[in-house]
Amino acid sequence: MFPFRVINQPTTEQLLDMASVIEVVEQAYQMKSSQQATLFPLIFHEFAAGKADMDIKSGHLPGADIFGLKLVSWFGENEQKGLPQLIGTVMVLDSRTGVPLGLLSGEHITCMRTGAAGGIGAKYLARPDRAAGCSKR
């Protein structure tokens, strides 16, 4: 077995701040746009309609020699079982050898990335006259 890091949710919560996540997500979007990153087709499966599903998002960063995937599942009835509805796992691997480099808890990462995407969207898509109007309130 190859040594690799395992990073749990409390650690990701300590390490990630929204400003840094926005910066990194914006860089990722720019890398994808300039073909420095590849996204693989999304895999989605619904276990029970409107109650339980999962998706796998994956990609490759050739410049960093890594590829990885994020598996996120949503089980709507988990709350009644004392479990989180959203469960995520991120795996990062070396693209030269296939050796796993890390396994991370993905719930917090997913939530932070979603928030960052909204912030980036607002930055580029908001009408300029709307932003000015907000600062006058």
Bridge-based pairing of strands 86-94 and 52-61 is: unpaired
Is 136 an active-site residue?
Answer: no
* Block residue for tokens 């749990």: 8
How far is residue 111's CA from residue 136's CA, in Å, rounded to a whole number? 30
Catalytic residue among 32, 70, 123, 136: 70
How far is residue 69's CA from residue 89's CA, in Å, rounded to a whole number? 8
Active site residues: 70
